[in-house]
Amino acid sequence: MPHSKVHNANHNHFGKSMTGSEIFVRCLIEEGVEVVFGYPGGAIIGVYDALVDLSDINHVLVRHEQGATHAAEGYAKATGKPGVVLVTSGPGATNTVTGIADAYMDSVPIVVFSGQVPLKLIGNDAFQEADIVGITRPITKHNYLVKDVRDLARIIKEAFYIATTGRPGPVLVDLPKDVMAQKTIFEYPKSVHLRSYNPVVEGHMKQVKKAADLINGAKRPVLYVGGGVINSNASAELAALAEKLQCPVTTTLHGLGSFSENNPLSMGMLGMHGTWYSNVAVSYCDVLIAVGARFDDRVTGKVEAFAAEAKKIHIDIDPSAISKNVMVDVPIVGDVKKVLKKLIDLVQPADTSDWLKTIDQWKKEHPLRYKVGNALRAQYVIHKLGEITKGNAVVVTDVGQHQMWTAQFFNWVHARSHITSGGLGTMGFSLPAAMGAAFGRKDLPVISISGDGGFQMNVQEMATIVEHKLPMKIFLINNGFLGMVRQWQELFWRRRYSHVELYNPDFVKLAEAYGARASKVTEPGQVEGAIRSAMEYNEGPVFVEFAVAKEDNVYPMIPAGQTVNEMLDTPEPVAVTAEGDVAVEEMMILTKG
């Protein structure tokens, strides 16, 4: 007879003697944890036994520990709550490393709990032992090895606090098997006091006034917005500032959705594959207001030439990010939402009409565009998806060409609607991350978009998705290549294609074998019907493979380390007919804002 779970979160367990494993699950309940992504094993078996009697926490059995960390990331990004992972020692712990590194690069609040061999065996090369604390030290905000059960509750409280405050990020807690079997009195701290960790949230008023003075004297301002705006839930404040100043807005990859692209002030994304006009606007602006962004290399290109004519203001909660890559004139350390509120009161509406007219002209001259015709193109699929959903979806992309096309051609209007792997560029991210988002969000459809390379890296999570009947839409952009690497080989390596063409399975049969509803699209005329059908089906996951043109490139493109002067814009839409005549191909034009 199966063990029945009981709901007992409301019982008062403080002051009672419990094992470390029992204390662990009580701490999660105190933190309001609703979902845990995990995979059991010998070193963590006591904790899994303690989970049996609880209905308060939904434990999701993933099929690989990397999938658990990405699922926790997707859950965190979609909801704003910390994602939680529970794995065993040794390979269970080391399999989380890629996801932890990804969360660290992208400032995602996750807490990873790993089992560990008993304290007395640590360092003895015991079965399934790995120094996960040492391994993850460079890729976590902080990590712990619990050596005394009496410290357990405090450490868990601190772990969640560190993960979710300041610049968010991953925290790992290593749980030795013998410590988790020991008993102590359960008490959970009400607050955390860490002498060496006190994030500054209120921006210094003197610095805010300096920024306001610079902005008030600007003729060609630009707001450069990153994921910090979303982490801070500051979209409303950003919109208010932009509207008051009539200041154009460009976002990073992680900033997408923080400012509605339906707004005429939007310039879409900037950087290596950003819009032509956003990159040029940044080059010619006289004041650049960086909000929750980190001036990463995919945005700046050649640092010396980035926004060379501009005075630079940088608002960020992480003091180490300021002037790390680009020297700024006015640094403001603080929570983006709080700083923007102060700034809005101090800035004055300015006459930016000439500046906005210039940008509008650039938008007309250099819009985002792609070829249309008989061949099925990924850009068309994503553009139609944006039209059909009107941006009302949580879209989770993998890494590669489809990632950039989705950033460009989907219409981003909501914060926390765009989830991707940015800093680490982790292939295999989308499917498990979308799964995590689907556990956290019920208000919007969750769509996973992957390439044929990345999809196979964590395809095993299809089993988890089907098991839980998650109403996800899983769209596969299949060009038979590792597309972005192929593009670089074409443009910069004399078209010497080295190990980028993929042998693929029958993806429809594979999805059906897992138990998903599946279909394949090969022609442009089938796209709209396939998307609408997938969006209407909510009894479980829907898988749609789009067999797109094999060789297509992402444009615009600023080559790595170069400037906007070297930007490759979309080539002229010219084709040569069989008779040798030159024919102009039809182009689909899309302008953001």
Contact by Cβ (8 Å): 292, 231 = yes
Distance CA 329, CA 439 (A): 43
Handedness of CA 531, 535, 537, 543 (dihedral sign): positive
- Indicate if 127 belongs to the active site: yes
Closest CA to 211 of 265, 318, 288, 321: 288
User: Are 403 and 236 contacting, i.e. CB atoms less than 8 angstroms apart?
Assistant: no
14 belongs to the catalytic site: no
Per-residue pLDDT of 462-474, as tens digits, reads 999 999 999 999 9
Q: Going by C-beta distance under 8 Å and a sequence separation of 6 or more, which residues neighbour residue 80?
A: 231, 233, 416
Which fold, 368-555? Rossmann fold (3.40.50)
**By 3-state DSSP, what share of the chain in percent is helix, strand and coil, each rounded to 5?**
40, 20, 40
Please say if 177 is a catalytic residue: yes
Q: Which of 5, 14, 127, 202 is catalytic?
A: 127
> Which pLDDT score, from 0 to 100, does residue 123 have?
95
Of 530, 385, 508, 380, the C-alpha closest to 445 is 385
Residues 455, 479 contacting (CB under 8 angstroms): no
What 8-state DSSP symbol labels residue 424? S
Q: What is the CA radius of gyration of the chain?
A: 25
Q: Which residues contact 93 (CB under 8 A, 6 or more apart)?
A: 65, 87, 114, 115, 116, 130, 132, 135, 174
* CB burial of residue 571 (10 Å; 0-12, 13-18, 19+): exposed
| pLDDT < 70 positions in the chain | 1-11, 572-585
Count of other CB atoms within 10 angstroms of residue 135: 17
Q: In this predicted structure, what is the pLDDT of residue 191?
A: 93
Sign of the torsion formed by the C-alpha atoms of 342, 348, 353 and 355: negative
Q: Which two tokens stand for residue 168?
A: 């968010």
Reported as type and span, the H/E element at residue 160 is helix 152-164
484 is a catalytic site residue: yes
CATH topology for 17-185 is Rossmann fold (3.40.50)
The CATH code belonging to domain 205-365 is 3.40.50.1220
Alpha-carbon gap, residue 486 to 503, rounded angstroms: 15
Write the secondary structure of 253-322 as one string of H (helix), E (strand) and C (coil).
Answer: CCCCCCCCCCCCCEEEECCCCCCHHHHHHHHHCCEEEEECCCCCHHHHCCHHHCCCCCEEEEEECCHHHC
Cα separation, 56 vs 22, in Å, equals: 14
267 in active site = no
Q: Which two tokens stand for residue 371?
A: 């070829």
Distance of alpha carbon 445 from its chain centroid, rounded? 17
Domain with CATH 3.40.50.970 in the chain: 17-185, 368-555
Residues 6+ apart with CB under 8 A from 275: 250, 267, 268, 269, 366, 368, 408, 556, 592
502, burial (CB in 10 Å: exposed 0-12, middle 13-18, buried 19+)? middle
User: Given 141, 177, 312, 371, which residue is catalytic?
Assistant: 177
On whether the CB atoms of residues 224 and 293 are closer than 8 A, the answer is yes
Tokens 């969000």 locate to: 441
If you search the block for the tokens 């790992």, which residue do you land on?
A: 172
State phi, psi for 269 to the nearest 5 degrees: -85, 150
Do residues 478 and 506 make contact, with C-beta atoms less than 8 angstroms apart?
no
Among positive and negative, which fits the CA dihedral 322, 328, 334, 339? negative
Give CATH 3.40.50.1220 domain extents, the chain.
205-365
Summarised one tens digit per residue, pLDDT across range 555-579 is 999 999 899 989 998 775 544 444 5
| C-alpha torsion 83→87→93→97, nearest 10 | -20
> Residue 572's pLDDT is what?
59
Of the residues 22, 30, 65, 545, which is catalytic? 65
Which region, left, alpha or beta, applies to residue 355 given φ > 0 means left and ψ of -120 to 50 means alpha?
alpha
The residue from 267, 484, 557, 567 that is catalytic is: 484
Catalytic residue among 128, 182, 460, 526: 128
Q: Report d(CA 518, CA 506) in Å as an integer.
A: 11
